[in-house]
Each structure stands twice: as C-alpha cells, then as structure tokens.
Amino acid sequence: MQYITGTNRRQAVLFSQSLDEIIDADNEVRIVDLFVESIDLSQFAFQLKFSSEGRPPYHPKDLLKLYVYGYLNSVRSSRALEKECKRNIEVMWLLHQLVPDHNTISNFRKDNEKAIRKVFHHTVSIAKQFDLIGGRLIAGDSTKLRAQNSKKNNFNESKIIQHLQYIEKRLDDYNQALEQADEENKKIIHTQIEKQNERKEKYLDLSRQLRESEETQVSTSDPDSRQMLIRNSITEVAYNVQTTVDEKNLLTLDYKVTNENDSKAMGPMLRRAKTILGHGEFTALYDKGYHTGSELKKGTTMGIELMVAIPGVASFAPDQRYNVERFIYDEQDDTYTCPQGEVLCTKGNWYVKSDHGYVVKQPSIFTCFLENNCLNF
C-alpha cells in the first residue's frame, strides 16, 4: 500500500525557498509588519535606547511587532514569545529571524506600557477612518485576571494585627520557657525568639507601608494586585481589566487594567469612550456590578444615555415563590400586591436591623395564613 511521503531530511536542496516565499501573500503577519512599519515611534513615546558600547539593543519596532503578533494569537507569556521566535516560521519572517530573550521582551512591555496603549488607540482611530466603528451603542464589562501574588502574601491592617498578636503570644511563651530551660535549650529558644522578632519587624514594616501609601491592602510579590471579589463570596488576589466594545463590528474601543472592583469604574470608562469617539451621543450598556449612584450621575452629567442592570434585592423567603421580586409595586397608591393578591401598604412601623434579622419596633396588625412562607413584612 502506498502513502504520501515527505522529503528526506538529509537530502541537500539546491534551490531552497526564502522565508518570504513560504509566507502566503494574504497572511495576517504581513499586516502586522505593514502596520508597525507605518507608525512613527517617536509620536508614541517609546523608549528608544542607543548604545555606542557593547552589544546594540533590539529596535523597538521589532519588539512591538512581536508583541502585536502575540496579542493576535493569544501568546501572552514572554517565555512563550521567545520560544515562538525559534520555531514559528511567521515570527521568523516578521523579526528577520531575530531571537530576543524573555527578559528583553518582558522589559520592553514594562518600560513602554503607556506607549503600547497609545498604539492600541491608534488602531481604533484607523478603524474609525474605515467606518468600522458605529459609535452609537457601546458595552462595558470587566475580566478578573488572577495575579501571581497568593492570598497569604496579601495583607490589610486587620490581617497584620492578627499576625502581630500571634507573634506576641509566641514571644511570651518563649520568654516563660526561657526561665525554666537549661543552657542547651536556652540557645534553641533564643534562636526562635530572634526568628519571631524578625517576623514582627516584617509586619511592622508592612503596617508602616500601608499608612504611608494610604492604601487598604499591600501585596508583597505582585505589588499592584489587590484582593477582590470574583463571584458570590469568593475572593482572589487579582487584576480587573475594564473593557469597552463597540456594537457595530464588536471591536474593542478601550481597555484599562485596574486593581479595583466595578462599582467605581463606569465613570472613567465613559470619559475615555467619549474622548475616543469624539462625542457623547451614544448609549452605554453595563451589568449590575456597575450600578452605583455616583457613577450613574457622572454618566448623565456627560449627557450619555445609560442602560445599567439593577441589582436584585436580597430576600429571605423560605418559599422562593414569595421572594421580593414577585411583589408588584403600585407607584400611584404606594402599595405592594403579594403573590396571593393581597394589597400591602405601610402601617407606619419602623424596622431595626439586628443580629437576628429585622425587628419591628411596633407590632403589625397585618395577618395572613401564609405569613410563614413569605418575607412577613
């Protein structure tokens, strides 16, 4: 039986193909090369390094081409990009077979963060020129990206106090044991006391850092990351990427990496979108995580039409059929109609929140045979 066979790896080739012949004419890597070559890096505040001694640096355009290619092909890691330079024919063509190491790639990204953002905004302006952005309906949302910093290396004032209290207790125990120990054990205890004092000084430094920075958290291995709510009651030390997308062709207009939750993010997102689009005559969509009074006010002040989901009202009904959202409100009469068709109105009672729930100061005269199934207002 015959099969299709490849070429012999050891066979010499007289007329070999060039890299340019291997890459198809309509390959997207040619667009990346054309785009980067068409821009003036000095207008984007890239750090152009020159050296008359030692090995010359890589040109920023080559590193930018690699970064854009990695973005388009979901290759984010600096080490992964370095590997692509050695094995990917497209990258070899794009960088003329240059192989920068991962430290060079990482430092380029770190040193030119603002410049790369400006290049991204430049692509948005090009899309506007080709009428690819409608500018009438946009949507904003966030993505939580877990940081390298673990929870145990993230501290707030309360957590620091707990550690210091534990250390003080350990020091008291060691000092009491020191009085009854022999000479050999005293050396061991002294060593432990020194370790605890070193830990104590570490936490005192973290406490001073918090006070001086006026921050509520500090992360030791990934300083810019913060512990935030991911979903329900689950928290992670993470970053929060805020993204704005245009409706016409689902193109990204704007992004920003933050270390805060969504509650205060809508205002800045709207300001940037208004600047990018050049007008405020658009409708913006957001989910319930952005529903904050101060942010809604900022949007209306800018003259932007907002559509923000309203957070659900928490209810504690034993039977889900009697949750709050199933009570119909009549704005004219200021009354609610329950799922049983009973009209409920205020009796002038005041409710006080306690550890056992809401307690009424005055007894209610409303009674219902299903009162144990609903919220029992």
Q: Domain limits of the chain?
A: 19-129, 137-144+225-308, 157-215, 312-377
Q: How many other CB atoms sit within 10 Å of the CB of residue 327?
A: 18
Look at residue 371 in the predicted model and tell me its pLDDT: 60
CA angle, 123 then 127 then 81, to 5°: 35
How far is 235 from 115, CA to CA, in rounded Å?
32
CB–CB of 244/269 below 8 Å? yes
Mean pLDDT of the chain: 85
Instruction: Please state which CATH number belongs to domain 137-144+225-308.
Output: 3.30.420.10
Tokens matching residue 66? 């690699």
pTM reported for the whole predicted model: 0.69
How does DSSP classify residue 17? P
Question: Using 50, 70 and 90 to split pLDDT, how confident is the model at 76?
Answer: confident
pLDDT at position 248 over 80: yes
Residue ranges of the alpha helices (H) in 156-308? 157-180, 183-213, 266-277, 293-301
Question: Using 50, 70 and 90 to split pLDDT, how confident is the model at 140?
Answer: very high
Q: Give the residue among 154, 146, 142, 134 at the shortest CA–CA distance from 282.
A: 134
- φ, ψ at 137 (rounded to 5°): -140, 120
pLDDT at position 363 over 50: no
Strand pairing class (305-308; 283-286): parallel
Tokens matching residue 162? 């707990």
Among the ranges given (160-169, 249-258, 323-332), the one the predictor scored with the smallest mean pLDDT:
323-332
> Three-state SS string across 167-204, please?
HHHHHHHHHHHHHHCCHHHHHHHHHHHHHHHHHHHHHH
pLDDT at position 53 over 90: no
* E-strand stretches of the chain: 137-146, 154-155, 218-219, 226-231, 234-246, 252-258, 283-286, 305-308, 328-330, 335-337, 343-344, 351-354, 357-360
CB–CB of 276/253 below 8 Å? yes
Q: Give the residue among 344, 269, 277 at the shortest CA–CA distance from 308.
A: 269
How far is 321 from 338, CA to CA, in rounded Å?
10
The 10s digit of each residue's pLDDT in 104-116 is 999 999 889 889 9
Question: Using 50, 70 and 90 to split pLDDT, how confident is the model at 235?
Answer: confident
What are residue 154's DSSP bridge partners?
219
Give the pLDDT mean for 255-272.
92
Give the pLDDT mean for 337-348.
78
pLDDT at position 362 over 50: no
Burial 237-261 (b: 16+ CB within 10 A, else e): bbbbebebbbbeeeeebbbeebbeb
How far is 42 from 224, CA to CA, in rounded Å?
28
The 10s digit of each residue's pLDDT in 4-43 is 877 788 887 776 778 898 899 999 999 999 999 999 888 8
> Cα separations (Å) of 338 from 35, 205, 334, 345?
62, 57, 13, 11
- Of the chain, the percentage scoring pLDDT greater than 70 comes to 87
Among the ranges given (84-93, 149-158, 199-208, 360-369), the one the predictor scored with the smallest mean pLDDT:
360-369
pLDDT at position 261 over 60: yes
C-alpha atoms less than 13 angstroms from C-alpha of 144 in its C-beta half-sphere? 16
Q: How many other CB atoms sit within 10 Å of the CB of residue 268?
A: 15
The residue with tokens 């957001």 is: 286
Look at residue 348 in the predicted model and tell me its pLDDT: 66
